[in-house]
């Protein structure tokens, strides 16, 4: 087990140290469900679009040189399904070639690739056929997973079937702020269940292609606290949010049963044997927490907010590193003591780069210490993100990169916090930012 002793906290010997990025947010030149969504008036802040994004599709060699400079040994990317299968059953060899070059460019630099198959974007033909609400499209996704395994399995061992399925379902089918823009809580919750099936089935085809491959999904874990500590209804809503958002997926993995129950709104209970055990490591994204309260007079009933006076990012998200501890404790109690725990995304919008050093330090410290306290194996930390990129409905104003991107010249510049990150990789452990020279 990883042991901590003294102020220098060593990283475990086997530890993914690196960054995360997604295809649509970085590549530029995509044509998918999001591209279409971005063209609607007022869909995206400042009418930004992903058209050029950070031109990662042509600049990945330079970006990966920067990963080497960061002393990273791992990087998470996603494959853009619409590039690889632009029409049903039509496989694009050119896109396959570029992704093979991209992944090989990492391997050449001794950077381990972790590859995600679905990061919020769908080919238009999938979206137009009803996305994951349509069983045939779930099958199409599973076929895509199998095809990706054939095309890249000799280079890739570590997979994520999908990114933040609950966030996707709630945004796309609940709040309706992301494509396809449907506003129906029951449909959103049903989609959560359908995505579980898709994950389970994709997990098994990836494993069938290569039994040695390690497969997971990047879950978004959040802390939910009752806004008014004396309010029983706030506590009830907190429990509900926590159960549906954070834990229903892991329960499906452990029991092979999908259970999503929101009293008075929705109940989905079904046996789904393919979910059972469909996880080789725990991968989760961690950003912030929400205060939860009940407002019976609003349509969605549940109100999320953040505490007044808290330290916040440029997007107004509370910085709450201590929240990692209860989440890790819960993962332990759910029985995930024997698999590596990987933070597959953690980061902040911070254009002035004044908070990022401390953010990295405090989150890593809590992560490593809490893993030790709860008897878990820390398997890696992937910072979101390597470079600034297209932040969905918020466009380009949020700056998440260790490297700043000038969107006119596309020039990359290391932020001060990148020097800190690099230093930690060099000494292979954690020290407070003040001790670091840039
Ligand atoms: C998503 C990323 C996003 C990041 C910051 C995560 O929820 O996976 O695509 O850019 O958060 O908002």
pLDDT in tens, 339-389: 999 999 999 999 999 999 999 999 999 999 999 999 999 999 999 999 999
Ligand 1 centroid–CA 398 distance in Å is 11
Q: What are phi and psi of 343, to 5 degrees?
A: -80, 110
Distance of alpha carbon 334 from alpha carbon 343, whole angstroms = 17
- Do β-strands 16-20 and 340-345 pair in parallel, antiparallel, or remain unpaired? unpaired
304 three-class SS:
strand
Distance of alpha carbon 278 from alpha carbon 276, whole angstroms = 5
Ligand 1 centroid–CA 230 distance in Å is 33
Q: Please name the residues in contact with 304: beta carbons below 8 A apart, sequence gap of 6 or more.
A: 241, 290, 291, 292
Give the model's pLDDT for residue 438: 47
Q: Please name the residues in contact with 245: beta carbons below 8 A apart, sequence gap of 6 or more.
A: 166, 220, 222, 224
109 three-class SS:
coil
Distance of alpha carbon 218 from alpha carbon 241, whole angstroms = 18
Does residue 22 have its Cβ closer than 6 Å to ligand 1? Answer: yes
Distance of alpha carbon 310 from alpha carbon 303, whole angstroms = 18
DSSP codes, 121-154: ---HHHHHTTGGGSHHHHHHHHHHHHHHHHHHTT
328 three-class SS:
helix
Residue closest via CA to ligand 1's atom 3 equals 391
Q: Please name the residues in contact with 1: beta carbons below 8 A apart, sequence gap of 6 or more.
A: 372, 375, 377
Give the model's pLDDT for residue 208: 98
Give the model's pLDDT for residue 155: 98
Does residue 220 have its Cβ closer than 6 Å to ligand 1? Answer: yes
Give the model's pLDDT for residue 432: 95
Residue with tokens 């590596």: 340
Q: Which atom of ligand 1 is nearest to the CA of 392?
A: 10
Give the model's pLDDT for residue 301: 79
Nearest to 65 by CA among 26, 112, 18, 109: 109
Residue with tokens 């490591």: 281
Q: Which atom of ligand 1 is nearest to the CA of 347?
A: 5
Ligand 1 centroid–CA 168 distance in Å is 10
**3-state DSSP percent of the chain in helix, strand and coil, to 5:** 45, 20, 35
Ligand 1 centroid–CA 287 distance in Å is 9
Nearest to 26 by CA among 388, 415, 399, 437: 388
Distance of alpha carbon 154 from alpha carbon 253, whole angstroms = 27
Ligand 1 centroid–CA 177 distance in Å is 15
Query: How far is C-alpha 1 from the chain's CA centre?
Result: 26
Query: b/e per residue, 324-352, with b = 16+ CB within 10 A?
Result: bbebbebbbeeebeebbbbbbbbbbbbee
pTM, two decimals, is 0.97
Does residue 399 have its Cβ closer than 6 Å to ligand 1? Answer: no
Distance of alpha carbon 166 from alpha carbon 326, whole angstroms = 20
Q: Which of 285, 343, 383, 386 to mutate to test the pocket of ligand 1 (most atoms within 8 A of CB)?
A: 285
Size (the chain), residues: 438
* CB distance 10 to 376 below 8 Å: no
* CB distance 194 to 133 below 8 Å: yes
Q: Give the DSSP H/E element, type plus range, for residue 24.
A: helix 23-26
Under-50 pLDDT residues of the chain: 437-438
DSSP 171: I
């Amino acid at each position: 087990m990883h042991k901590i002793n003294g102020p220098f906290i060593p990283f475990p010997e086997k530890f993914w140290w690196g960054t995360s990025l997604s295809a649509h947010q970085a590549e530029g030149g995509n044509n998918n469900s999001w591209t279409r969504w971005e063209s609607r008036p007022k869909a995206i802040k400042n009418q930004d679009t992903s058209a050029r994004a950070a031109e990662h599709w042509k600049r990945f060699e330079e970006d990966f040189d920067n990963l080497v400079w960061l002393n990273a040994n791992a990087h998470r990317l996603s494959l853009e399904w619409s590039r690889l299968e632009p029409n049903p059953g039509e496989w694009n060899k050119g896109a396959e070639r570029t992704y093979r070059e991209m992944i090989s460019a990492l391997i050449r630099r001794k950077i381990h690739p972790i590859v995600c198959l679905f990061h919020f974007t769908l080919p238009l033909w999938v979206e137009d056929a009803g996305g994951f609400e349509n069983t045939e499209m779930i099958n199409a996704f599973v076929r895509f997973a199998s095809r990706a395994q054939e095309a890249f399995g000799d280079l890739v061992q570590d997979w994520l079937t999908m990114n933040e399925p609950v966030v996707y379902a709630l945004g796309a089918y609940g709040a309706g702020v992301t494509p396809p823009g449907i506003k129906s809580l029951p449909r959103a919750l049903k989609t959560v269940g359908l995505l579980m099936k898709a994950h389970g089935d994709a997990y098994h085809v990836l494993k069938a292609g290569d039994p040695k491959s390690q497969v997971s999904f990047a879950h978004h874990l959040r802390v939910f606290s009752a806004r008014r500590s004396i309010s029983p209804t706030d506590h009830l809503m907190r429990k509900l949010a926590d159960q549906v958002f954070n834990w229903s997926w892991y329960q499906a993995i452990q029991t092979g049963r999908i259970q999503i129950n929101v009293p008075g709104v929705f109940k989905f209970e079904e046996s789904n044997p393919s979910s059972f055990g469909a996880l080789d490591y725990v991968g989760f994204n961690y950003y912030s927490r929400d205060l939860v309260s009940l407002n019976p007079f609003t349509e969605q009933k549940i109100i999320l907010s953040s505490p007044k006076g808290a330290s916040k990012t440029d997007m107004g998200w509370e910085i709450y590193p201590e929240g990692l501890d209860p989440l890790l404790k819960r993962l332990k109690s759910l029985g995930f003591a024997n698999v590596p725990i990987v933070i597959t995304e953690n980061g902040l919008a911070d254009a002035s780069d004044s908070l990022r050093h401390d953010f990295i330090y405090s989150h890593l410290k809590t992560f490593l210490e809490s893993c030790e306290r709860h008897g878990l194996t820390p398997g890696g930390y992937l910072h979101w993100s390597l470079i600034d990129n297209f932040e969905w409905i918020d466009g380009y104003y949020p700056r998440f990169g260790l490297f700043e991107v000038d969107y006119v010249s596309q020039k990359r510049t290391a932020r001060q916090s990148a020097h800190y990150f690099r230093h930690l990789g060099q000494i292979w452990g954690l020290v407070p930012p003040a001790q670091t020279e840039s």
